[in-house]
Amino acid sequence: MNRPSVYLHVGRTAARSHLAYLGEVAARATFLTVLLYIFLQLWRITYAETGADRLGGFTLAQMLWYLAMTEAIILSAPPVTPAIDQDARTGGIAVHLLRPISYPFYRLWVALGEQLVRFALNALVGAVLATALVGPAPLAARGVAMFLVAIPLAFTLDFTAHLGIGLCAFWLEDTSGLALLYRRATMLLGGVLLPIDLFPAGLRSALAFLPFRDVVYGPAHLFVQPDGDFLVRLLVRQATGVAALGLVAAAVYRAGVRRIHAHGG
Amino acid sequence: MRALIDYLRLARMYVGLNLRAQLEYRGAFVAQMAAMAVNDAVWVAFWSLFFSRFPVLHGWKVDDVITLWAVAAAGFGLAHAVCGNALVLATVIAEGQLDVWMLYPRALLPHLLLGRMSASACGDVIFGVAVYLAFVRPDAAHIALFAVLAAGVAVLIVGFDVLSASLGFYLGNSATLTDQWRFSMLTFATYPATLFRGAVKLVLFTAIPAAFINLFPVRALRSLSLADAALALVGALAVAAAGAAAFHIGLRRYQSGNLLTMRG
Amino acid sequence: MEAAIQLDNLQKTFVLTRWRRFRRVRTEVLAVAGITLDVPAGQAVAIIGPNGAGKSTTIKMLTGIVHPSGGHARVRGMVPWLERRRLAGRIGAVFGQRSQLWYHLPPRETFELLARIYGLDRERYRRMRDELVDRFALGAFLDRPVRKLSLGQRMRAEVAASLLHEPEVLFLDEPTIGLDAVARQELRAVVREWNRERGVTLLLTSHDAGDIEHVAKRALVIHQGRVVLDDSVASLRRRYLGSKVLRVRFHEPPAPFHLAGITVVKSAGSALKLHVDTRVVAIERVMTAVLKSGPVADIAIEDPPLDEVIAHIYTRPPPTAEDGAPA
């Protein structure tokens, strides 16, 4: 079995086991219905009160589709940190070291498999709801295409950050607190609830060096406002982020593995 | 009256024991409280960002939303710090754990609710109170009213938990459905009531009684209006009564043993 | 004197509603077919039967948790499902899956809570607690968190907790399960003493023959929702437990020996498994014969498993009529 097909197989297995959760679909649908309806009311009134046609460059319909897509992304996050934390803590990582595929890549493929399925479900439900609430106007082939192009690296970037956090299990008693902080930071600073265009200028520039906006805001923005330049810039930012965080995670990983070899796991 | 005082003393004892049991694992306890506080803080931060861009939302200002979050968090936290079993009541019913509580010479529902304390709920209480004091800078009258309204919200939340968990008497394990209903309630309750109109607003007074959190308490605290405070408290008691009624009707079904799923 | 527990044709049929392909399917399950019996105050009764026999359903009806489909019952003069709260103050229960003791706190704290739950008079509670601590030997760990106690210590504390409010009837469900031999003996002894000295009516369910023999005076065998045997434990022992299993391991293959009342169940080189009918031959004689036949490396005497005995009872009609025959 050659390497790519092994990864593919692992990814497909993880995806399939997730499709079995039909109950989750229903639960997700309720969740998103409540959330998107409330967002719609919030923004409908805001647009009416300010008398604006566009806010932050978005029309009302675009705003809601934007929020539907940010929610689809943020809700699809698989439990990466707990899995890695477990592996590091129990020394289960050692088992993976024996397999011919490298550990982080294995974990990445498992995470992507799970996340893509969840994301597809969320995006579908979100799209249906958004259409019902504001109509399908913002839905366009170009936007969807660019959105989908930006997604894989977005997920990989998020994964890489969580990989680094999970590997801290070599030293920390509990990584779930850190993971929660990171997730909440992504939610607030990644533009999940409010497009970054509407942030105060000072905050916007501060966020330029952080990866959050490239995981959520970037792709979702492309969905409602497809822009070739924006896409290219986003992909570069994502790749840079993956490289940077990847180096950090690799260093943590190597130090942790050295620790196992020293202490016998 | 004597029964109420007796119950309150029992509640105080349970809170003491629950707290001491939590403190046996101080680290985890503090971590869970902090996690919830962070969670709440993110939402307050969002609203701060929003209002920095759009100062008025249908008559609501940033102080109003922060007041809403403070009352909701304090009330929600108080509810589950004291009556932690309300959070998992659907599971308690599904797993037949009601039986062990029925062996005590106490009214079943009020007693069993006390059996647990949610650590994260303690974080909610601390957050709610801290945010109200720090951001709104209230005077003594407002603080007193805040405390009363938070207690009212707590009663409402517990009553609503019981109402939604009572589905378990009819559906076997209703945990997922109950959770979705509770999630809807929680979400609506933390957004300004003025966002909603018409049919939805009606729902917020009935099936998802969030109006008694996101409308009356905020109005009451904005202008120290006792009328609004009274409406909030009446609503809370009504929901609590509905919850208790639903539970006892379901309990009769449980005791006849004719449930969907076979018990132990 | 009025019996502590009276059952009069107590019945329970469960109606299970299941959804099969969008249609409602109702099945009736007969859990308790009709039990009539009297338990006089102060009696210690063992209730034996396989899982699903109706034991726990009967106990749930007697404690007011479940309403019967037919028949009547009274515990201390009260109808359980009509006066649950009042009755709860007069009965105690130790059920396997439920631990009253708070896991992270010392037993003392749980005792204090129970005093408040049962509304016990402060002085009376203290006296009762001190006596229980003394009799159940809890003093050494009364202030140690329950999670740090051994299972034996925990069970002693559990039973003591159930007696704090001085109940007149005590339900014990599998109290010695998982305990080592010493802990089991200790628990049985203290429960037995409490029953004899205080006249607490005892209802014990157990799969352990030792529990039954050492604690109970009367045995009820329940099978498929009915009482199939109601007799004194002494009779039960004589008629159905009149056998022992002897396992011997010799240093070298033993000389053969014969004795009436012995059946060799298994023999392999130096190991021997014997079935001894103690009605025919005393166990001491068998022991002597065994020790004479060769150098013994290891020897063990066991009761036949209770399930075997009960199965025996179901397949053979009981020699006496099924009226309540207390010790």
Low-confidence ranges of chain B (pLDDT < 70): 258-264
Calpha distance C209→B4 (Å, rounded)? 48
Query: How does residue C321 score in pLDDT terms, banded at 50, 70 and 90?
Result: very low
Q: Between B174 and A220, where is the model more confident? A: A220
Joined together, the tokens standing for residue B104 give 């005590």
Cβ pair B46:A193 closer than 8 A: yes
How many CB atoms within 10 Å of residue C121?
A: 10
Cβ pair B255:C81 closer than 8 A: yes
Is residue C283 over pLDDT 70? Answer: yes
Residues in A closer than 8 angstroms to B183, CB to CB, are 30-31, 34
Mean per-residue pLDDT of chain C: 86
How many CB atoms within 10 Å of residue B1?
A: 5
- State the pLDDT at residue C234: 81
B223 lies within 8 A of chain C by CB:
no
Sign of CA dihedral C301, C307, C311, C316: positive
Mutate to test the interface with B, among C11, C24, C67, C79 (most CBs of B within 10 A): C67
Cβ pair B191:A173 closer than 8 A: no
Burial class of residue C275, CB neighbours in 10 A (0-12, 13-18, 19+): middle
Residues contacting residue A12 through CB under 8 Å, at least 6 positions apart: A113
Q: Which of B52, B54, B179 is closest, CB to CB, to A50?
A: B54
Average pLDDT over residues A241-246: 94
The verdict on residue B59 lying in a domain is yes
Is residue A265 over pLDDT 60? Answer: no
Task: Quickly list H helices, chain B.
Answer: 2-23, 26-53, 62-82, 89-94, 98-101, 108-113, 119-131, 140-165, 168-171, 175-189, 198-203, 211-214, 216-223, 226-255
Nearest CA in chain B to A191: B46
pTM assigned to the model? 0.84
Q: For the sheet containing C70-75, what is the strand order? A: C23-39, C5-20, C70-75
Joined together, the tokens standing for residue A8 give 């593919």
A52 lies within 8 A of chain B by CB:
no
Residue pair A219/A147 in contact (Cβ under 8 Å)? The answer is yes
**Which helix (H) or strand (E) is B136 found in, with range?**
none
Burial class of residue C99, CB neighbours in 10 A (0-12, 13-18, 19+): middle
- State the pLDDT at residue C322: 44
Cβ pair C112:B13 closer than 8 A: yes
Calpha distance A189→B71 (Å, rounded)? 25
Calpha distance B253→B14 (Å, rounded)? 29
The verdict on residue B261 lying in a domain is no
Touch criterion met for A and B (3+ Cβ pairs within 8 Å): yes
Choice among A32-36, B260-264, C43-47, C185-189 with the minimum mean pLDDT = B260-264
Query: How does residue C314 score in pLDDT terms, banded at 50, 70 and 90?
Result: low
Radius of gyration of chain C (CA): 23
Measuring CA to CA, which residue among A152, A169, A143, A146 is closest to residue A91? A169
The total domain count for chain B is 1
The verdict on residue B151 lying in a domain is yes
The verdict on residue B260 lying in a domain is no
Q: How far is A46 from chain B (nearest CA, A)?
A: 7
Three-state DSSP class for residue C251? coil
Three-state DSSP class for residue C244? strand
Q: Which CATH number describes the domain made up of C5-239?
A: 3.40.50.300
Cβ pair B42:A177 closer than 8 A: no
Mean per-residue pLDDT of chain A: 87
Sign of CA dihedral B202, B205, B208, B213: positive
- State the pLDDT at residue B79: 98
Q: How many CB pairs under 8 A join B and C?
A: 79
The verdict on residue B132 lying in a domain is yes
DSSP code at position C255: P
Residues in A closer than 8 angstroms to B68, CB to CB, are none
Residues in B closer than 8 angstroms to A199, CB to CB, are 49
Cβ pair C118:B105 closer than 8 A: yes
Calpha distance A20→A15 (Å, rounded)? 9
Choice among A56-70, A100-114, C33-47, C104-118 with the minimum mean pLDDT = A100-114
What angle, 0 to 180 degrees and rounded to 10, lies between the N-to-C axes of helices A60-75 and A141-167? 40
The verdict on residue B188 lying in a domain is yes
Residue given tokens 């796991």 in the structure block? A265
Residue given tokens 């169940």 in the structure block? C265
Is residue C323 over pLDDT 60? Answer: no
DSSP code at position A262: H
Residue pair C11/C70 in contact (Cβ under 8 Å)? The answer is yes
Is residue A157 over pLDDT 90? Answer: yes
B52 lies within 8 A of chain A by CB:
yes
The identity of residue A237, as a single letter, is R
The verdict on residue B264 lying in a domain is no
- State the pLDDT at residue A5: 73
What is the phi/psi pair of residue C35, to 5°? -115, 130
Alpha carbon A222 to chain centroid distance? 15
Cβ pair A177:B35 closer than 8 A: yes
Q: Which domain holds residue B57?
A: 2-255
pLDDT digits (tens, 9 = 90+) for C140-155: 999 999 999 999 999 9
Residues in C closer than 8 angstroms to B256, CB to CB, are 66-67
Q: For the sheet containing C262-268, what is the strand order? A: C262-268, C271-277, C243-250, C296-302
Cβ pair B24:C85 closer than 8 A: no
Residues contacting residue B79 through CB under 8 Å, at least 6 positions apart: B86, B121, B153, B154, B155, B157, B158, B161
For chain B, give the percent of residues with pLDDT over 90.
82
What angle, 0 to 180 degrees and rounded to 10, lies between the N-to-C axes of helices B26-53 and B119-131? 40
Is residue C122 over pLDDT 50? Answer: yes
Q: How far is B245 from chain C (nearest CA, A)?
A: 19
B222 lies within 8 A of chain C by CB:
no
The verdict on residue B262 lying in a domain is no
Three-state DSSP class for residue C199? coil
Calpha distance A75→A55 (Å, rounded)? 25
The identity of residue B179, as a single letter, is D
Residues in B closer than 8 angstroms to C117, CB to CB, are 10, 104-106, 111
Calpha distance A205→B51 (Å, rounded)? 19
Name the neighbours of A, counting chains with at least 3 Cβ pairs within 8 A.
B
Most confident of A122-126, B123-127, C27-31: B123-127
Choice among A116-130, C7-21, C189-203 with the minimum mean pLDDT = C7-21
| Domain ranges within chain C, ordered by starting residue | 5-239, 242-302
**Which helix (H) or strand (E) is A138 found in, with range?**
none
